[in-house]
Amino acid sequence: MTNLRNKVAIVTGAASGIGREVALKYAEAGAQVVVSDIDEAGGNDTVVLIKKAGGEAIFVQADVSSAADNERLVNETLITYGALHIACNNAGIGGPQGPVGEYPIDGWDKVIGINLSGVFYGMRYQIPAMLKSGGGAVVNIASILGQAGTPGSSAYVAAKHGVVGLTKSAALEYSAQGIRVNSVGPGYIKTPLLTKNLTDDVIQSLVALHPIGRLGEASEVAELVFWLSSDNASFVTGAYYAVDGGYLAQ
């Protein structure tokens, strides 16, 4: 496995699902991991899993929709580990469903605040810390809906399209300074965010959207995130990579 020893990584939304799997993957490769989430219990569980496997991690509770929380998250990372080399901006929510002409304003504000502004706020404070640490890699978790639309989820679709564009701009601005920035577009992944309130019939309808014939696993997304975060992807920046079972190939 690629060695991440002496690397420090932040993972947001790491209390469960994709974020947890990314944090575990980073730690397995030797990185010191700052696990962050609004969910304190889940975040601490992720830290326990990392330490049981012989890794090093701390938990910092943060709401990514708060610029101040993102600044504090980076500051606590620097206080504890002295540097920052890797960030996976993963925290996100699905938000309410409804057509644009009826979409709840507070729902729009919340989804944009977490899924888009949260990524901007993250990079706003992560990138200066990475520059002082000699460079690094940022991976922003977008979605297949960062490249395609779907009815009823205008805020989510808009936010994820925004993440893809934001990633490209940041990559162009900082590539010459040793910071790579890429985005990942998962298809429908079997995580608590997706399956929590869905019936079996709805889940099967989602399965049918993927030519591969199943939902993805969070660990499969983590493999791609890990590669993009590592020196194995040293010539990759400003890119969008789908991990979607063929969804976008249709």
pLDDT in tens, 105-143: 999 999 999 999 999 999 999 999 999 999 999 999 999
CA atoms within 13 A of residue 6's CA, in its CB half-sphere: 2
248: in domain? no
Determine the pLDDT at residue 200: 87
Q: Which of 81, 121, 156, 174 is catalytic?
A: 156
204: in domain? no
Return per-residue pLDDT of the chain as tens, 250 residues. 569 999 999 999 999 999 999 999 999 999 999 999 999 999 999 999 999 999 999 999 999 999 999 999 999 999 999 999 999 999 999 999 999 999 999 999 999 999 999 999 999 999 999 999 999 999 999 999 999 999 999 999 999 999 999 999 999 999 999 999 999 999 999 987 677 778 889 999 999 999 999 999 999 999 999 999 999 999 999 999 999 999 999 9
- Residue that the structure tokens 């890794």 belong to: 55
196: in domain? no
Please report, for residues 18, 33, 227, the alpha-carbon distance to residue 88 in angstroms, rounded to integers and kept in the order given. 10, 11, 12
110: in domain? yes
Structure tokens at 250: 């249709």
197: in domain? no
Q: Residue 186 — left, alpha, or beta (φ > 0 → left; ψ -120 to 50 → alpha)?
A: beta
Q: Give the E-state strand segments of the chain in sequence order.
A: 8-12, 32-37, 56-61, 86-89, 136-141, 179-186, 240-243
Q: Among residues 220, 193, 219, 194, which one has the least CA distance to residue 207?
A: 194
Structure tokens at 15: 């209390």
209: in domain? no
Average pLDDT across the chain, whole number? 96
- Check if the beta carbon of residue 120 is closer than 8 Å to that of residue 87: no
CATH number at residue 172: 3.40.50.720
- Please tell me the total count of domains within the chain: 1
Beta bridge pairs of residue 9: 33, 86
Residue range(s) defining the domain that contains residue 139: 8-189+217-242
212: in domain? no
Residue 26, classified by CB atoms within 10 Å of its CB into exposed (0-12), middle (13-18) or buried (19+), is buried
Determine the pLDDT at residue 221: 98
156 catalytically annotated:
yes
149: in domain? yes
The one-character DSSP state at 140 is E
